[in-house]
Amino acid sequence: MRHVFITAGTKGLGLKVTETFLQKGYQVTATYYQDHARAEELVARWPATQLQLIQADMAKKADVKRAVAAAMTFVDKIDICIHNAGPYIFDRKKLIDYSDEEWVKMIDGNLSSAFYLLKEVVPFMRARQFGRIVFYGFQGANHAPGWTYRAAYAAAKVGLVSLMKTVSIEEANAGITANMVCPGNIIGEMKEASIEEARTRPDKETPIGRSGTGEDIARTVLFLCEDDADMVTGTVVEVTGGVDVINRYR
């Protein structure tokens, strides 16, 4: 049985990934930041032998080390690492208006956290000659676009694209793959919705006619983490329903 370590796995897109892996019979260690109520709600639904939750701020090196150590105590291996955690600033502001603290929060939470996490989990994967690593980006991140009013977040995620691709090459001979999933416009309750639910709610802005959902992301992540998905590495997968291929300038 594979053991999955997922950050921010108790709500939003992370919750659907956690639930999908649990439903498929994986053992899961998931972190959460502050929402104790949602964490308690999730852990109550699954056997203690299958799911462990750890409170942690993944932007802090000490918390990353503690969370990974707890995961290794729960199951003496980490086969899959899904880095879903990453802060976001909703206020629309130009780069020059960011405070130093906001800049550091975006870079540490979305990029440095990945470095801390890889330093902890990759040695365990190397020892077993198997590993699956999945990061999250944003629509178009692979092409390093500018993103007005989101400069710090975009810079961190685009940096993460390069980091992911580099790790995919460096660790390929250890049986480790690294990929990134880039969700489209999945907002609000759709982050925890099913595909079936989305099909009852038309979306004219998306070519396929419906909103993306957390289940769409979870199914993509699940595929990338399968044993036989070893030919897919260093890849950025856009899960947007076709929005990313529209020529906005026509």
Residue 204's pLDDT band (cuts 50, 70, 90): confident
Q: Mean pLDDT over residues 168-172, rounded?
A: 98
Domain ranges of the chain: 3-245
pLDDT in tens, 127-144: 999 999 999 999 999 999
Q: What percent of the chain has pLDDT over 70?
A: 98
HSE value, Cβ hemisphere, 13 Å, CA-based, for 221: 32
Tell which residue, 181, 182, 179, 183, has the closest CA to residue 164.
Answer: 179
Q: What is the pLDDT of residue 247?
A: 52
Residue 250's pLDDT band (cuts 50, 70, 90): very low
pLDDT above 60 (res 187): yes
Q: Mean pLDDT over residues 72-91, rounded?
A: 96
Residue 249's pLDDT band (cuts 50, 70, 90): very low
Cα(18)–Cα(133) distance, rounded to whole angstroms?
15
Q: What is the CATH number of domain 3-245?
A: 3.40.50.720
pLDDT above 80 (res 120): yes
Q: What is the pLDDT of residue 47?
A: 96
- Radius of gyration (C-alpha) of the chain in whole angstroms: 18
| Cβ–Cβ < 8 Å for 102, 89 | yes
Cα(61)–Cα(241) distance, rounded to whole angstroms?
36
User: Does the pTM exceed 0.85?
Assistant: yes
